[in-house]
Amino acid sequence: MGKRVAVVGAGMTRFVRRAEETGKELSWIAAAAALESAGIGLDRVDAVCLGTAPDAFDGVHRKGDYLADGAGAWGKPFMRAYVGGGTGVFTPIQGWYTVASGMADVVLCVAEEKMSSCRPHPQGAFVTIFDDIIERPLEPNLLWIFALEMHRYMHAYGLEKRDIAEVAVKNKRNAVDHPAALLGQADLTVDDVLASEVLAWPVQRLDVSPISDGAVALVLASEDVAGSMTDRPVWIQGVGWNLDTTYWTNRDLVYPEYVEHAARMAYEMADVTEPRRQIHVAEPYDPFDYKELHHLEGLLLFDKGKAPEAARDGVTARDGDLPCTPSGGLLGVGNPIAAAGLMKVAELFWQLRGEAGGRQVPGTPERGVAQAWGDLMQVGTVVVLGTDGGPATTASDPPASAPPAPRATALDDAAFLAAPGAVDAAFDGSYRWDPGAAMGRFLDGLAEGVVHATVCDACGRTLVPPRAFCERCFRPTDGWAEVPATGVVETYSRCHVAWDMQPLDEPRYPAVIRLDGTSQGGFLHLLGGFTDEPTIGMRVEAVWRPPQERTGSILDIAWFRPAGEEAGS
Amino acid sequence: MTTGRRIEGTMPVAFRYTPGVGAGAFLAGLGDRELRGSRCAACGVTYLPARAFCERCLAALAPEVRCGPEGTLVSATAVHVDVDGRSLPTPEAYVLVRFDGADTVMLLRWLGPDAARIGARAAVAWRSEHVGSILDIDGVVPVT
């Protein structure tokens, strides 16, 4: 499959809460460090691939070309990739096919995020990932998605929070040995995690990775030139990526099938037939602690539901049988979105070259896998790196060299607010969204106290939310069906914070409702009118607002209450 | 049939942009009535405002070149509408000026009594009070 592609250099900034450097300057620090580590100048670079997540984080609506000079793209072919949180691992995939295709011999891959510009909280940008018509009126925040998925995962396998908190402890402890880390914590315990503030049950403060600024860069080279730059190339043996349906409330929230599909694609390319034996070190995406476990299962490194046990037994520790996130991960090093994903690939590069210093895993790992996840919880991006598979190099066991020391200057809150020359600007954009044909009829139905689904005769599915076309069969849906406004609670959360992370007076109970009569259909709504704490699997029914108060909105359903109960609060 | 409902909303974000290393040095220079640029000797390019790095070779740069205060107009325009496309009561003139010693140009207001002419000489006009931003420069005026 095309030319073999090696990673021949890597560099990164420190990850900090607020960087003095601009996004361009962070990109430059990382790019220059990667080139230095590859021992080449920018003149050797044929093309540049940039990864960066939503423009709304940096507040620059053209973030690709804005960052281009810092990424070393002056006068070169340049492209920005963006697949949400999956971007950081997708960026070297883009670099891989640019080189493997023969279009370039040397590609500089740069990933950047500067989230500190965004106020009052980056979640202000995240809220727009929810469906404007049937989700945003519920005033969701990003934590809901994670809390709902995590709760469903815990429920499916009977897990306790303690089982999951082990990951946060491991990763934040691992990060102590990372010179770029924002949140390394040597003395953190599971009890600390369990005692931290509940944000949206089961998500607590220490289950979550921090908002961060930072950048990471890699140098990729074709087999034709890699040997001229390094005696110890690390080969990109496999790449894979895959996207699940954008209707996130219709998905299996317990198992990330899209990660499995992406992993299988990468493993097949890498001739990995027994990942548990052939993968020696893993960097799964860990924006939340449970996500590492979720992803390790999707990467086929543990049986479904068995990753927590492995974490508890030390299998995933840095000195365990399968070291997972020896870098410290997003939880410990930090989570400047796209940069964090690429940091995982850089970590494999350093681990496989024996250059990871205090983070070095025991033995001589020969192959590793890095993975990221994003968009609306449905993209998996996977890269397999290994020391074997390229042409022989001329080297005879050269000594390991230390990676360039990560730089970046942290600003504390006071310095940020007092920074000379700083400019404040609101994003002065407001929108009016048209529901479209299918959702328009759905809203009309709600005004009449009816839930409408569309039906696809080809796959036989009854779809809620209704759509004009079936995304699987890629053909128009065939008709409409009324389904009852009853169902079961697929998962729920008890949320204590608003989107800007300010505490709520009363907790809210977002839930994914699986509606009766649909094909794993349903939507996001709220639970209410219960006396005992809700349970997953509980049967519920819609509480409709009085007909004269309905407006043709998802809010025409006030909430879902336990089926058969009288109207409550 | 849809009743033509519309859902309205916003993206609730605001931003605080800090100038960073390169532009920070440039803004600090304005307080001293200096136009600070940075030169990459290897590429033979002087950037104004100063930058932390050379975009051509990624070398680190220091803000040690003083440019201006005079320069040459590279282009000029008169703006008749605001950002929403509404007519302005009085047209506003803007120019691209390449200050002496710099290879790059800056966008500034034209404060001359007559229309700006490409190729004409101009000089920086400082605002009387120091505000710590690009607005320390009022614009450029003709050199007679």
> Which residues of chain B neighbour A422 with C-beta distances below 8 Å?
16-19
Give pLDDT, residue B83: 86
Is residue B74 included in any domain, yes or no?
yes
Cα distance from B33 to chain A (closest Cα, Å)? 15
Is residue B6 included in any domain, yes or no?
no
DSSP A277-329: HH--EEE---SBHHHHHHHHHHTTSS-TTTHHHHHHTTTTSTTSSS-B-TT-H
Backbone φ, ψ for residue A38 (5° rounding): -85, -10
Pairing of strands B121-126, B70-81: antiparallel
Residue with tokens 């070149």, as numbered in its chain: B65
Give pLDDT, residue B1: 42
Give pLDDT, residue A191: 98
Across the interface, do B19 and A434 touch by the CB < 8 Å criterion? no
A121 falls in which pLDDT band (50, 70, 90)?
confident
pTM (2 decimals)? 0.95
Q: What is the largest CA-CA distance in chain A?
A: 82
Over the stretch A265-286, which tens digit does the pLDDT of each residue have? 999 999 999 999 999 999 999 9
Closest residue by Cα to residue A34 from A359, A409, A407, A411: A407
Is residue B118 included in any domain, yes or no?
yes
What domain range is B57 assigned to?
Answer: 20-142
Residue with tokens 């991006």, as numbered in its chain: A381
Whether B51 shows a pLDDT value over 70: the answer reads yes
Is residue B49 included in any domain, yes or no?
yes
Is residue B28 included in any domain, yes or no?
yes
Give me the number of domains chain B comprises. Answer: 1
Task: Please give the residue of chain B at the shortest CA–CA distance from A76.
Answer: B56
Residue of B11, B32, B51, B137 for testing the chain A interface, max A β-carbons within 10 Å: B11
Cα distance from A551 to chain B (closest Cα, Å)? 9
Mean pLDDT, chain A, whole residue set = 94
Closest residue by Cα to residue A294 from A498, A153, A445, A443: A153
Q: What angle do CA A540, A543, A544 make, to 5 degrees?
A: 145
| Tokens encoding A557 | 């359903």
Across the interface, do A440 and B28 touch by the CB < 8 Å criterion? no
Over the stretch A439-457, which tens digit does the pLDDT of each residue have? 999 999 999 999 999 999 9
- The total of other beta-carbon atoms located within 10 Å of residue A288's CB is 25
> Which residues of chain B neighbour A43 with C-beta distances below 8 Å?
57
Q: What's the burial of A317, exposed, middle or buried (CB within 10 Å: 0-12/13-18/19+)? A: buried
Across the interface, do A59 and B58 touch by the CB < 8 Å criterion? no
Cα distance from A428 to chain B (closest Cα, Å)? 8
ipTM of this predicted complex? 0.92
* Peptide bond before residue A465 is cis, with ω within 30 degrees of 0: yes
Give pLDDT, residue A134: 94
Total residues belonging to chain A: 569
How far is CA A189 from each of CA A163, A196, A223, rounded to the nearest angstrom? 12, 11, 45
Whether A392 shows a pLDDT value over 80: the answer reads no
Is residue B12 included in any domain, yes or no?
no
Closest residue by Cα to residue A302 from A322, A328, A273: A322
A400 falls in which pLDDT band (50, 70, 90)?
low
Going by the DSSP 8-state scheme, the letter that residue A42 receives in this structure is G
> Which residues of chain A neighbour B60 with C-beta distances below 8 Å?
32
Backbone φ, ψ for residue A313 (5° rounding): -85, 5
Cβ-Cβ contacts under 8 Å between A and B: the total is: 157
Q: What's the burial of A116, exposed, middle or buried (CB within 10 Å: 0-12/13-18/19+)? A: buried
Cα distance from A29 to chain B (closest Cα, Å)? 9
Is residue B124 included in any domain, yes or no?
yes
Across the interface, do A25 and B55 touch by the CB < 8 Å criterion? no
DSSP A213-238: EEEEEEEEEETTTHHHH-SS-EEEEE
Is residue B15 included in any domain, yes or no?
no
pLDDT, mean of residues A181-185: 94
DSSP A147-213: HHHHHHHHHHHT--HHHHHHHHHHHHHHGGG-TT-SS--TT--HHHHHHSPEEEETEEGGGBPPB-E
Backbone φ, ψ for residue A500 (5° rounding): -90, 15
Task: Please give the residue of chain B at the shortest CA–CA distance from A22.
Answer: B20
Closest residue by Cα to residue B109 from B125, B120, B95, B98: B95
Over the stretch A487-516, which tens digit does the pLDDT of each residue have? 999 999 999 999 888 999 999 999 999 999
Over the stretch A24-73, which tens digit does the pLDDT of each residue have? 999 999 999 999 999 999 999 999 999 998 888 888 888 999 999 999 99
**Lowest-confidence region among A150-159, A267-276, A430-439, B89-98:** A430-439
Whether A287 shows a pLDDT value over 80: the answer reads yes
